[in-house]
Structure 1
Amino acid sequence: MGYSRVGIVTGANKGIGLAIVRQLALQYPKSSLNSGPFLIYLTARDKGRGEAALKALHEDAQLQKAKALKEHGGLSEIKYHQLDITDRKSVDAFAAHLKQAHRDGIDVVINNAGIALNGFDANVVKTTLGCNYYNTMEACHTFLSLFKPEGRLINVASTGGKLNKYSDEVRNRFLASKSEADVTSIMKDFASSVEAGKEKEAGFPSAAYAVSKAGLIGATRALAVAEREKGSSVLINSCCPGYVNTDMTKGNGTLTPDDGAQTPVFLALGDIQGETGEFWKDKKRCEW
């Protein structure tokens, strides 16, 4: 079967990622991107969990009532594919599959995969930055080579990455960053300062997740500028889903996963009029 649109959601077997897949299927028919059948890849590290999530979507009462899925006469088809963004071989294997299966290219990528670990030390920082910053940006570069013109790349970040937690010097370094390399140098300085036990003196919060998301927002902005300068029309944005009740917030969030999916899905399907390199929350651009 041919597909008019192809979308990918990483870290999609539960929580916000799973809700994003669900909302893409529900909202696609009325979106301006609707040009025919839509294939959504639900990706996850673990095959068992990914396939269980897929089964839950096929049994979802709202999807059935809306006739959103192909099996009910709808436009969307959801498939599971293994993807672990922290494993280079996994990323390359998925990219090879996409290139072979979708020769016209892909339309939407929502990078939702991420981690939030307990505690704070140099090892927690290294692991958190590895997944949420370095591996996410590596995945962005891999996927960018596969996009159709005017595709959309969305990185799920957090208002935890806002710059009000930093010294003026560090904040100004973030804002003055012209390239991913500039942002990466800040991430390296943060990791080094934690190793030395002096992150607060260096102007950083003692918070691995928050700094990783600040880095992601900054690098997403830099990537958008670089791609636009190359003549690319792919829209590249980051967003905060809000404080969502998931495993990552240990059940303390005040929003449902479906609530949290709204801004990423808006950036994927909505009329954002060519806006790129922005940080969004509640479907609006917000100050970093």
Structure 2
Amino acid sequence: MSSDKQVALVTGGNRGIGYELVKQFALNSFKVILTSRDPEIGHEAAQKLKELNLDVSSMVMDVGDRKSIRQAAITVNDRYGRLDVLVNNAGVYLDENEKLLTMDPSILDRTMATNFFGAYHVIHSFIPLMEKQGYGRIINVSSGYGTMREMADQGVGAYKLSKLSLNGLTQLVSAEVKGDIKINAVCPGWVSTDMGGPSAPRTPKQAAESILWLATIGPEGPNGGFFRDGKRIDW
């Protein structure tokens, strides 16, 4: 079942930047799919937005589970027949100032599973929907912590490595996509969310704006870039 409205999917859409993004996409006339690991929490978040007369539906997708991702892709294809925008927003931040060599290695495993492999498998499963119509916009929510220069300082190693890998993935995929399909990475800055904490200076709405921009760029827009507030930044 296809519709004239563009369809956007946001992973980890039940809170923080993800939730704000779902809201902003819907306010900008998108049909939005809010995905989260927990069916009840996802449903509740979507209901809140539906009450504002926004075109939002929830779907279960655990980005750490390939089977769950494949099933979600099948459901989106059956239900909408298209996907125009994909935002890889789901992420974890598990290490504070621990050193890479002395932390429990499972912290790195879990971080990479969500922040890197999760995004990879989501792109892998959903990109055929974009290729089918020769159009798509993929935005990977990354971090300034994922820049190469950040690797010179110790601390937050698992998170940094996961975002460095996500940045590499963004560039590699951008070199492979054909047609009017674009993939870019965004550093949302330090945002006041459950993950960012209450003292962060930026609102989720500010973070959502630059992602919305990349989701709506025309065919002449950037591909394979890294952006903060609409400005290109170094890898």
Corresponding position of 1:136: 119
Q: 1:16 offset after TM fit, Å?
A: 0.2
Distance 1:156 1:206 in 2: 17
1:205 CA displacement: 5.4
1:1-288 matches, cutoff 5 A: 2-4=2-4, 5-28=6-29, 38-60=30-52, 69=54, 77-103=55-81, 105-119=82-96, 120=98, 121=103, 122-147=105-130, 148-167=133-152, 207-227=157-177, 231-271=178-218, 273-288=220-235
Rg bigger for which structure? 1
Rounded Cα–Cα distance in structure 2 between residues aligned with 1:114 and 1:166: 19
Per-residue CA deviations over 1:125-171 (Å, capped at 9, x if unaligned) read 1110111011211111111111131210111101111111235xxxx
Q: State the 1:206 CA deviation.
A: 5.1
1:232 deviates by 3.4
Contact 1:240-1:263 within 8 A present in 2 as well = no
Structure 2 Cα separation of the partners of residues 275 and 8 of structure 1:
20
**Corresponding residue SS for 2:134:** strand
CA distance in 1 between partners of 2:156 and 2:49 (Å): 38
Partner AA of 1:9 in structure 2: V
Unaligned runs of 5+ in 1: 29-37, 70-76, 168-199
Q: How far is 1:265 from its partner?
A: 1.1
> Within 2, Cα distance between the matches of 1:96 and 1:206?
36
- Are 1:132 and 1:216, in contact at CA under 8 Å, matched by a contact in 2? yes
Does the 8 Å contact 1:154/1:267 carry over to 2?
yes
Letter of the structure 2 residue corresponding to residue 158 of structure 1: S
- 1:101-141 CA distance string (max 9 Å, x none): 233x2111011001011454211111101110112111111
* Map of 1:188 onto structure 2: none
Aligned-residue offset at 1:55: 2.0
One-letter code aligned to 1:114: G
Residue identity in the other structure for 2:116: Y
Gaps of 5+ in 2: none
Root-mean-square deviation over aligned CA pairs: 1.9
CA distance in 2, matches of 1:59, 1:142: 31
1:286, CA displacement in angstroms?
1.4
Please identify, of 113-122 and 124-133, the stretch whose mean Cα deviation from structure 2 is larger: 113-122
Q: Please state how far the C-alpha of 1:219 moved relative to its aligned partner.
A: 1.1
What do residues 47-67 of structure 1 show as CA deviations (whole Å, max 9, x unaligned)?
11111111221345xxx6xxx
TM-score by length of 1: 0.73
CA contact (8 A) 2:180 2:219 kept: no
1:271 positional shift: 4.1
Contact conserved, 2:151 with 2:160, CA < 8 A, in 1? no
Partners of 1:99 and 1:47 lie apart in 2 by: 19
8 Å contact from structure 2 (residues 150, 160) kept in 1: no
